[in-house]
Amino acid sequence: MAREFGRPQRVADFLRKELSQLIQQEIRDPRVGMVSLTDVEVSRDLTHARIYITILGCDDADSAKESVKVLNGAAGFLRSLIAKSTTMRTTPSLRFFFDESVIRGSHLSALIDKAVGSQEQISDSQADSSDDKD
């Protein structure tokens, strides 16, 4: 029977927990802002990790570019701190990416709300017109 969570998933969970604390406590650069880790993907050989982040107040990748650049610049520092706090043989190299899925989700939600609102207007106007005929 296969394991429910493989080693890459467990390492990703560990990295998510550690990085969220380290970014909050150790990164003092004001260009970073309020960072939230949305996902961590670790390669099967545990040598690379892709960290997806969102930044409070940044609505697109262009406005978050500076923060992502700073975090990628601090990736070696963060990796060394993680290596000191774990007994893993190798610590994955870290790459940060802006996660646009949250923004895309809110945009789709707004579109759905707009469609539902227009559908309600149509059904209300049809109900009013049928009342006038009676």
Q: 22-72: per-residue pLDDT in tens?
A: 999 999 888 888 899 999 999 999 999 999 999 888 777 788 889 999 999
Q: Identify the pLDDT of residue 130.
A: 64
Residue 118 banded pLDDT, cuts 50, 70, 90: confident
Q: How many CB atoms lie within 10 A of CB 31?
A: 10
Q: Look up the pTM and report it.
A: 0.77
Q: Evaluate if residue 127 carries a pLDDT over 50.
A: yes
CA distances from 55 to 6, 30, 34, 59, 118 (A): 29, 13, 6, 8, 32
Is residue 33 within 8 Å of 56, Cβ to Cβ? Answer: yes
How buried is residue 15: exposed, middle or buried, by Cβ count under 10 Å (0-12/13-18/19+)? buried
